[in-house]
Amino acid sequence: MNGRATSNRTKRRALDVVLFAVALASAYAMKRSYSVASAEELRWLLAPTTWLVERITGEPFAREAGAGFVAERLPLVIAPACAGVNFLIASFLTLSFGFVPRLHAITTKLAWLAATPFLACAATLLANTARIAVAVGLERHGIRIPALSHSEAHRALGVVVYLGGLWLSYSLAERLTRRAADAR
Amino acid sequence: MRVERPRNAMPASVRGWRRILLPFGIYLCVTIGVPLLNGASARPEFWEHALEVVTIAMILVAVRSASTALERAGASGGRAR
């Protein structure tokens, strides 16, 4: 009985290692293909972000070929560098590495890994919208962070929103998996 | 969905650290580690970027850890009363 439990645990650990390798390979492929992607290739991420930012801030953006989405009244561009590809990858890896080992059944592990790209996309859309909406607010009211240049402030805002977003998505995923376990 | 709950499950403090450090570690790997592997270390502006990212991320980790510790202390104080 004990030997069987150990064998099952070993099998699950082996599967975890395989799934981690799959997650890493997918992340690497994402990084390779999207780190040099154009605004057109990232439109699937930039367009919904821009739409949400427009709804939240009321600031109109116009699409400009090659550049991305340019604010009509403010010096802001939602460009490929702002697409949040790094956050998308980090979020995908956090949700995979953080939760695959916790799930018991093999099918559940596979289903979770298949769902993580979509969850990571949703998290990216929300985090990116929040970051750009705050940037629009700062720009509109002329708020400057002392001792930081414009680009440094932009980067600092990115770190705060993205790391905060990763923590938040980890906590939400924890609640989701715990609730699912309690429901059984 | 079935979540593994072994009898010797991780203590709350380890879970708390994992909750903070796993996303933090992955974030740093993606934003600093991967560009370093791709040869970004040759560009001086990369180091400026890396320093800023690491500094702000460390401040956030410190704030988050402190708030988690306070929450835990409050919860255990409440239980003791």
**Alpha helices of chain B — where are they, by DSSP H?**
12-28, 34-37, 44-80
Backbone angles phi, psi at A77, to 5 degrees: -130, 130
Distance CA(A98)–CA(A163), nearest Å, equals 15
Question: A124 touching B, CB under 8 A?
Answer: no
Contact, A132 vs A111, CB < 8 A?
no
pTM: 0.87
- Which pLDDT belongs to residue B10? 67
Residue indicated by tokens 């099918």: A107
pLDDT band at A167 (very low <50, low <70, confident <90, very high): very high
Distance CA(B34)–CA(A30), nearest Å, equals 12
Asked if A104's CB is within 8 angstroms of B23's CB, the reply is no
Q: Which residues of B touch A (CB under 8 A)?
A: 1-5, 18-20, 22-24, 26-27, 29-31, 34, 49, 52-53, 56-57, 60, 64
- Give the mean pLDDT of A118-146: 92
- Please report residues of A whose CB lies closer than 8 A to that of B2: 103-105, 108, 180-181, 184
Asked if B52's CB is within 8 angstroms of A163's CB, the reply is no
- Which pLDDT belongs to residue B7? 45
Q: Where are the beta strands (DSSP E) in chain A?
A: 61-64, 68-71, 77-78
- Please report residues of B whose CB lies closer than 8 A to that of A167: 19-20, 23, 64
- Which pLDDT belongs to residue B56? 94
- Which pLDDT belongs to residue A130? 95
pLDDT tens, position by position, B5-49: 544 466 777 778 889 999 999 999 999 998 898 888 898 889 999
Nearest to A67 by CA among A56, A58, A76, A55: A76
From A180, which residue of chain B is nearest by alpha-carbon distance? Answer: B1
**Shortest Cα distance from B72 to chain A (angstroms)?**
16
pLDDT band at A78 (very low <50, low <70, confident <90, very high): very high
Beta bridge partners of B3: A103
Query: B72 vs B78, which has greater pLDDT?
Result: B72
Asked if B31's CB is within 8 angstroms of A181's CB, the reply is no
- Which pLDDT belongs to residue A18? 93
CA–CA distances in Å: residue A181 to residues A15, A107, A151, B1, B16: 20, 15, 45, 6, 19
